Amino acid sequence: MDVTQIKDPRILDDMSVEELTSLATDIRQFLMDNISKTGGHFSSNLGVVELTIALHKVFDSPHDKLIFDVGHQGYTHKILTGRAKDFGTLRQYKGLSGYLKRSESDHDIYEAGHSSTSLAAMAGIEIAKQYQGNDHKVIALIGDGALTGGMAFEALNFMGNYNNHNPVIILNDNEMSISENIGYLAQILNSIRSKSSYRKMKGRAVKLMPKFLRKLTSKVERGIKGFLTGSTIFDDLGFSYYGPINGHDMKELIKYLSIAKRANKPVVIHVLTEKGKGYKHSEQDAKGLWHGVSPFDLDTGAPIKTSKEISWSDIIGHYMVEYAKREPNFAIVVPAMIAGSGLLEYHKQFPNRIYDVGIAEQMAVTMSSGLALSGVNVFCPIYSTFLQRAYDQVNHDVARQNLKVVFGIDRAGIVGADGETHQGLFDIPLLRTVPHMTIVHPRTPEEAFTLLNYAFSDQNHGPFTIRYERGRVLFDPTLPVPTDIGSLSWEVLKEGTEVVFLSFGSILNMLLEQSKTIDLDMMIVNAKTIKPLDEDMIKRLISLDLPIIVYEESVLSGGFGSGILEWLNQHRLPSHNVHLMGVPDRFVSHGSKPELLQELKLDVTSIIEMAKELVSQED
């Protein structure tokens, strides 16, 4: 079937199970063909093709409300709701979002990009029915990995108490989130999977019962379950539980989703799926390498673009391996991102000195505080966008006690194709106002290493944050990692007499290169320490009486530039020469980093234009 001709889910209404199964094959091939060209979330989408078709077959979207946790597994949903024709623009600038987007379709009920949100959103939408008198069903699709997020359990605890409401939770269990799931919950689900004979016995028992006893099915069900397996965690929280069922068997999916649709109390359908199903490379992936992909060759699985450059995540991971070799009193706490944070080699060499707490950033931060309080050197890497979920723990549990936890803020700044929910634009305003906090952002790997040496040294006595970008740089991992301790002082990279450019990170390298070809005598200063400010350097720059451009790939409100203006005001120094460049008060959509910087007028060309304009005004 040509899936680009699908306009809405009503096409499924008259299709047989065999036709639906054939459609699943066509959609899976379409996804492989397209994602291999555009990049995107691969394994998660291949795993839920049949499940998504069955959901749209049984339920009436958008009258019934389908909520996808995170939304990165919503590609089949997009196809069934008429967007297949736009898949060539997936995650491209001004193109189709890689997540659900309410502005794209009436079928996209709820937007997210972070995990473990769907059940709480479901609770709100479900409870709202009692005010509006609506009769629709509310269905939340959540992965087993997302259940490690505390908010998911908070919502389960809440909704289980409302037996007069009947939302449906689909637990998509593929034994992985991004990488292999960890923790006791994973063991519980594994125990349930291994005792699927319960479900078969329950079915036979109901058939053998006299009709007048079938109304007591739920009690009989609980009795059988208690005898064979004990009640599941979902039963104990007040839900009717069905499963586990085969998430690739269309007939079985439709059967149990139809049962859930008729239920008069909260229901959990436990569905087993295979992440990456249909493509051998992703089916065999146990490390999460096929979770999100760049364009690749569909036949070989090899990436289209190869480069000698290394990601910042891998560079920081390389440092951690070398540091752990010389420092036995060292541990890493990571929230479900061992591969994404460049720590696969560390995990291989030091499996007992890295702790994956699952999708639980709050837990990661507070656990790190306990390690630090006990005298252990600890590194806690978290993507900038996910750090937002643990602000209170950073503030209350770490900084307030002035504990030496070293945070790695990965994907700081514009990240590109993942869009609004993943841009690393808010960590500076969040962290800059936290007492005791040190924030740095290196422009080279060597600078990063010396700053990390400072962070772990006796010279540092409190929380320390090192930001690094989503990008790749030239780096030779065979060279020894420097052991000298870096300075927090700012550095003049290039002297100049007409205008000053003050910033941190990769933009400095780009501007240094471009400055060789322009008719402008620009001073370029590396403000690698965002907090504390280099007060002596600020005084020197102000005394030059030149235009000063303070640039940050971050939101302006409460950011690095704001900090400088606040300091100048407090010390009664002139600020009229200071001009801020940064992200305005808005969310930034998806696209490549160069495209987004150009749109925001934060690219090198815009910097040079502003510098020339300021110089001309001085003349």
Q: How many CB atoms lie within 10 A of CB 616?
A: 8
Instruction: Verify cis geometry, omega within 30 degrees of 0, for the bond prior to 480.
Output: no
Least Cα distance to 539 among 494, 565, 573 occurs for 573
| Positive or negative: CA dihedral 185, 186, 187, 192 | positive
**DSSP label of 83:** I
String of DSSP letters for 550-579: EEEEEESTTSHHHHHHHHHHHTT---TTEE
Q: Tell me how far apart the alpha carbons of residues 493 and 486 are, in angstroms, rounded to a whole number.
A: 16
Burial class (CB in 10 A: 0-12, 13-18, 19+), 589: middle
Q: Tell me how far apart the alpha carbons of residues 299 and 303 are, in angstroms, rounded to a whole number.
A: 11
Query: Is the CB of residue 319 less than 8 Å from the CB of residue 342?
Result: no
Least Cα distance to 607 among 544, 529, 541, 520 occurs for 520
Amino acid letter, 421: T
Query: Is the CB of residue 334 less than 8 Å from the CB of residue 177?
Result: no
Q: How many CB atoms lie within 10 A of CB 618?
A: 12
SS3 state at 504: coil
Q: Tell me how far apart the alpha carbons of residues 548 and 568 are, in angstroms, rounded to a whole number.
A: 13
Amino acid letter, 351: P
Q: How many CB atoms lie within 10 A of CB 209?
A: 13
Q: Tell me how far apart the alpha carbons of residues 393 and 553 are, in angstroms, rounded to a whole number.
A: 25
Q: Which residues are catalytic?
A: 275, 361, 389
Q: Which residues pair with residue 133 across a beta bridge? A: none
Least Cα distance to 279 among 265, 269, 293 occurs for 293
149 φψ region: left (φ > 0), alpha (ψ -120 to 50), beta (else): beta
String of DSSP letters for 366-406: HHHHHHHHTT-EEEEEEEHHHHGGGHHIIIIIIITTT--EE
CA atoms within 13 A on the CB side of 234: 23
Alpha helices of 172-211 — where are they, by DSSP H?
Answer: 184-194, 197-208
Q: Tell me how far apart the alpha carbons of residues 7 and 73 are, in angstroms, rounded to a whole number.
A: 20
